[in-house]
Amino acid sequence: MSEAHASPDHRGDLAPGEEGAHEGGIRGAVISYLIGLALATVLTAASFLLPLTGLVYAPALPVALVVMAIAQMGVHLVFFLHITTGPDNTNNVLALAYGVLIVILILGGSLWIMANLNQNMPSMTQIMQMQR
């Protein structure tokens, strides 16, 4: 990172995973990555163990897993990719938002097509009549 990024007037723009890197050099960066690794490992283990424990009401289990997946994405964005909302990362945030928009459009379009596919298909009797 540049010296301008580490200046005191930009201290509020740092992500939780970045502040140690500027204060402690390589040691701070390694500690930051280790914290991210520990959080990611705990979230991954929890997502595998949660269904086995019965701590969460069974119908709410998918919601709990989605929440942990979103938390996992947050850990990766902050501790490993160092994406923040600071002025230095505006392009990164915009690129991430654009990527999320594209994924939502693809998923939404696919679900819409699959939902309407059944009504647009001919019935089995119509298919049998076409084969004659």
Instruction: Residue 128: give the domain boundaries.
Output: 89-132
Domain count for the chain: 2
Task: Say if residue 1 is in the same domain as residue 42.
Answer: yes
The whole-number pLDDT of residue 22 equals 54
Regions in the chain scoring below 70 on pLDDT: 1-24
Whether residue 128 is found in the same domain as residue 78: no
Based on the fold, state whether residues 99 and 130 are members of the same structural domain. yes
Residue 20 shares a structural domain with residue 69: yes
Q: Are 26 and 44 within one domain?
A: yes
Q: Tell me which long-range contacts 8-17 makes (C-beta under 8 A, separation of at least 24).
A: 10/86, 10/87, 10/88, 12/86, 13/84, 13/85, 13/86, 13/87, 13/88, 13/89, 14/84, 14/86, 15/78, 15/79, 15/82, 15/83, 15/84, 15/86, 16/78, 16/79, 17/78, 17/79, 17/80, 17/82
Is the same domain home to 35 and 71?
Answer: yes
Clarify whether residues 116 and 79 are in a common domain: no
Co-location of 62 and 103 in the same domain: no
